[in-house]
Amino acid sequence: MIKSESGFTLFEILVVLIVMSIIMVFAIGRGRITSAGVKVQTEVLKSQLRHAQASAMNDNSPWGIQTDGAGNAYWLFRYDGNFNQIRLPGENALTVNLAAAGLNMTPGIYSFDPDGIPHFESDPTASEPSTAALSSPGQQITISDGTDSYIILVTRNTGFIP
């Protein structure tokens, strides 16, 4: 009688498990890249809003972030009777194009008065920033890529951005 030995050795099973583990690492990593873009842009916008608030308090003029009508782009402004666009620190252009990265944000005018108090105008084409106080707890700004979204909360009265 001939004895048949069929099956896998322990070494073959380990090689297959290692290869499958490497493939899973790449698959999981690629899935997180898209949400990372939204998270990074959220953190960038937070720092740019803080910059606008500090500039308003140092300049004694309203400063803020204004979007286009669809929330596909935004820019920094200083208001002195007109919206004067100013290049954001670290940016190459006056306008930050979110659409190029597949992102958008809640449209509007997010401004800070000379006391650092935040204001919001929902119409990004308004002729001047709002002077109305924010309602409690503050203004939410959503940044999204269609799948993932992050919310920035600008706290009323203080403009604190956690």
Q: Report which DSSP code applies to 5.
A: -
What pLDDT was estimated at residue 153?
A: 94
Task: Show me where the domains of the chain are located.
Answer: 36-155
Q: In this predicted model, what pLDDT tens digit does every residue of 47-103 receive, in sequence order?
A: 999 999 999 999 989 999 999 988 999 999 999 999 999 999 888 889 999 988 889
How far apart are the two ends of the chain, measured CA to CA in Å?
77
Q: What is the pTM of this model?
A: 0.77
Do strands 109-112 and 63-67 pair parallel, antiparallel, or not at all (unpaired)?
antiparallel
Tell me the CATH class for 36-155: alpha beta
- Percent of the chain whose predicted confidence (pLDDT) is above 90: 56
